[in-house]
Structures are given as C-alpha cells and as structure tokens.
Amino acid sequence: MPPDAEQRLHLRMPPNGVLRAEDAHAHWGVSLSPARPRVLEASVEDALADVARCFALDQAVAVWESAVRSGAISLEALQQVPWRSAAARRCRDHTRADTDSSLETVFHVRLSAWGVRLRFQVQLAGHPVDFLIGTHLVVQVDGWSFHSSSADRTRDLAHDAQLRLRGYTVLRYSYAQVIYDWEHVERTLAAAISQGLHLAPARERSP
C-alpha cells in the first residue's frame, strides 16, 4: 500500500452488494474476471482497477509496477486488459517493467508531465544510475534497502565522484525527500534544468 494510505480493508462488491462492515472501503462494480464463488480474493486485474480509482496516479502506478515486479501479472498481460476506467488506462500507460522500486516509480510518474527526456537505469561510469535527464543530469533516489549501510554510502560517493569527473551533474534524494518533501525536489530539479545542467557542457556540444 502507498505510504500514509488509510489502513482500511478494501472490499470488491457486486453492483447490488450490501456492505455491512463500517470500517471497510467498498468498490462496487462488475468484475473484469469471471466470478469465482468459492474464492474470497479479488483477481489481480480487479484489484489494480480499484487501486487506479482509489489513489493518486503516482501511488497507483507504484502498486501496479509492484504487481509486475512480484510476478503477480506480466506487463504484457496488463497491457492487454480492456480497462474500463480512464484512471486505469492512465496507470497502464505509465506502468513500466524497468523500475527497481516504488520510489523510482513515484519519481518517474511525477516527472513524466515535464516534457523532458528521462531515461532509466542507464549505465554510466561502470554502474547504472536511476535516472538520466537529458544527457548530463543524473538523479539518484535512495531507498533504504540498497543505501542504508556505510558500505552503500561509500560506494555511492565513489560513483558520484566518477560521474562528476565525466562532466555530469549528480542530484541525490532520499526516500523521505521524494515522498514527504517533493516541493523541494521539484524546485531543485526545475532550477537545474533552467540552468541547462541536463545538457552537455558547452565544450562538448557540436559547433
């Protein structure tokens, strides 16, 4: 579930269903998958359709991509579903298979409307970077799993140094900054792009 999501039970209900649980959130509608009378869990497709309508786009896509990464559904199968709502179709259009974490998902969905060239997991200086904006602005988003130890920090700093020696600008953000202080992240990124830091240095550009 997305961070800070209301911790209520979500129930898929048939159109004429009656909700008796006061602390549950009901999703009434016709299922995408065939009815299974002896199965209490909704299908992955129906759950994703409800997620699309229940959460903001970035949070919803994070759940969709988590379903792909976990193997609950393939990206190809997801793209073949005749999604009924505009919200679900937006999630389908944003969902990718090459992000490594929900934090990266949130970042790329929020940047997708900026109209800048944004690439994922590009190999630079011997290691992949999370995002490359334009040709020379590297953005690393540090989730807890791979950036929490002293060894992780040392590795990250060494890679950052190699990138800077090669003329890249490196911006690194923590989980807390992306999730809880997006205004600061957005303002810094906008300033970097305004200054042309996403472009090759003048000496490297063609005359």
pLDDT of residue 12: 83
Distances (CA, A) of 183 to 141, 179, 188, 189, 204: 15, 10, 9, 10, 32
pLDDT of residue 148: 59
Which of 44, 73, 97 marks a domain boundary? 97
pLDDT of residue 10: 82
Give this prediction's pTM.
Answer: 0.80
* Boundaries of domain holding 72: 1-97
pLDDT of residue 17: 80
- Tens digits of pLDDT across the chain (207 residues): 666 666 778 888 888 888 877 778 888 888 888 877 777 788 999 999 999 998 999 999 999 999 999 999 999 999 999 999 999 999 999 999 888 888 899 999 999 889 899 998 999 999 999 999 999 999 999 876 554 567 878 889 999 999 999 999 999 999 999 999 999 999 999 999 999 999 987 655 554
- Is there a single domain that holds both residue 91 and residue 118? no
Distance CA 47, CA 13 (A): 12
| Residue listed under structure tokens 């060894």 | 151
- Is there a single domain that holds both residue 69 and residue 105? no
pLDDT of residue 3: 65
- Is there a single domain that holds both residue 15 and residue 108? no
pLDDT of residue 145: 52
pLDDT of residue 9: 80
Please name which of 62, 5, 58 lies closest in space to residue 186, comparing C-alpha atoms.
58
Which of 31, 62, 97 marks a domain boundary? 97
Q: Which H or E element spans position 27?
A: strand 24-28
Give 128-167 as a DSSP string.
EEEEEETTTEEEEEE-TTTS-SHHHHHHHHHHHHHHHHTT
Which of 29, 63, 97 marks a domain boundary? 97
Domain count, the chain: 2
Distance CA 14, CA 82 (A): 19
DSSP tally for the chain: helices H, then strands E: 8, 6
pLDDT of residue 14: 80
CATH of the domain at 187: 3.40.960.10
